[in-house]
Amino acid sequence: MSSAGPTPPGKPQVKALHCPGCGASLTVRSFGNAVTIVCENCRSILDAKDPNLQILQRFKAATGEYRPLIPLGTRGKIRSTDYEVIGFERRTIYVDGVPYSWHEYVLFNPYKGFRYLTEYNGHWNDVSILKALPDVQTDASPPTVKYLGETYKHFQTAKAETSFVLGEFPWQVRVGESVEVSDYVSPPRVLSSEATGDEVTWSMGEYMSGKDIWTTFRLSGTAPEPVGVYENQPSPMSADTRKIWVAFAAFLLVLVVMMIGFDMLARNEQAFSGSYKFDSRDHADASFVTDDFELKGHTSNVEVDTSTDLNNRWIYLNYALINEETGQAFDFGREVSYYHGYDSDGSWSEGGQNDSVAVPSVPPGRYYLRLEPEGDPQYGVTYYSVTVKRDVPQYSFYGLALLALLAPAILLTWRTLNFEHLRWAESDHPPIKLGSSDDD
């Protein structure tokens, strides 16, 4: 794209002219600011600066006719200024022999001059020509461009060929002409340079949704859905991701404060302790009950700890924590086993001599334990002790809460990274593909 400043208009008017190629009437909308006009009837490119409208080129679209999504002559307000669509072109680049085409619309306002819209697969950009040169840093990898304090990363450089034109253009447009286009991105903006010979034109584009374009130009129907991720398309999640990690940090702080608070407030009080001997060779009923004990405070947990002298054997304890007054019982079984040895892999061990379990939500009151140990008859005597503690902090819930808080943040971060991965996969600097090798 290239442009000159507009000639200040006199009284706005539409000038009727005729194409010297086919005689069809031409509508000139840019009040003498256009450099070339394309006849909509015979596709002759005419010199708009020549009073006789000399034919500069006649072209036949190589791959067919293209109808602009925004018809020429349509008006809409962009950044509080009314613009009219006066030109349309299709441009194509080839990457590894594969053609990628996009469309550009020339917009004109008699006071503000020219502006452009680009469209690729449903992704739109509002483009204007830069008035100052950006600072290109070619030694960086990827190369960057600085403009108005913002850094843009190089995305792609390719030869773009004009393959179809329609309407008016503020430069000498030709079908088949090619320029080297380099894009530098900092979503939602993109800086583009177009180089032809020694001349370089810089423009800045800002991403727009198709819905906004349809609203701006009051177009009928709905905008085509965007396909894929575009080079300067803003990530819909990146801002949220940052905010969620900030919120996560705050939650983590609250979690730590809660842990310290509940730890300090917990009774963590021993209510009962007893030591016992179990002879598995004795065939008599091994069940017995303990003395009763008081569980104080509000409804809370009770931790039952079992310590044994097991050595390459197991013991199973049927426990029942029974409320003496209400008859409510908490019934559970605990297996304690400890094995160790030495083999070709070295020493090994399995299990442990101690066990701990938290009985949930036990109301206050007087309780006793009913125990029934079981063991292999050939083991003989096992010594064990049982300790009952009231209101003991359970750290596993903090771990679960941490995971629950972490999961959405990780999920959102993954989606953001995936979005960026898709963006850069289409660039000259694709992300490293996992699992790829030099042999590929």
Partner 1 sequence: MIRNLYLIYGGVVLLGLSAAQYRGWSLATINEVKNVPRSVRDNPGSYRSIYSSFHHYTGGK
| Residues at the site binding partner 1, with contacts judged by CB under 8 A | 237, 240, 243-244, 247-248, 251, 254-255, 258, 262, 285, 287-289, 298-302, 312, 314, 316, 318-320, 322, 324, 327-333, 335, 337, 339-341, 343, 348, 350, 357-362, 368, 370, 372, 374, 376, 391, 393-394, 396-398, 401, 404-405, 408-409, 412
Cβ atoms of 361 and 344 within 8 Å: the answer is: no
Distance CA 68, CA 213 (A): 13
CB of 298 to partner 1, least distance (A): 8
Distance CA 332, CA 37 (A): 89
Distance CA 383, CA 385 (A): 7
Is the CB of 140 or the CB of 246 nearer to partner 1?
A: 246
CB of 279 to partner 1, least distance (A): 17
Strand partners, 118: 104, 125
Is the CB of 67 or the CB of 298 nearer to partner 1?
A: 298
Cβ atoms of 307 and 317 within 8 Å: the answer is: no
Is the CB of 56 or the CB of 322 nearer to partner 1?
A: 322
Is the CB of 130 or the CB of 405 nearer to partner 1?
A: 405
The residue length of the chain stands at 440
CB of 382 to partner 1, least distance (A): 13
Angle among Cα 66, 21, 176 to the nearest 5 degrees reads: 45
CB of 391 to partner 1, least distance (A): 6
Cβ atoms of 68 and 105 within 8 Å: the answer is: yes
Burial code (b: 16+ CB inside 10 Å, e: under 16) for 86-116 equals bbbbbbbbeeeeeeebbbbbbbbbbebbbbb
CB of 88 to partner 1, least distance (A): 37
CB of 245 to partner 1, least distance (A): 10
Is the CB of 195 or the CB of 320 nearer to partner 1?
A: 320
CB of 339 to partner 1, least distance (A): 3
Q: Which helix (H) or strand (E) element contains residue 235?
A: none
Is the CB of 65 or the CB of 350 nearer to partner 1?
A: 350
Is the CB of 157 or the CB of 301 nearer to partner 1?
A: 301
Distance CA 24, CA 33 (A): 21
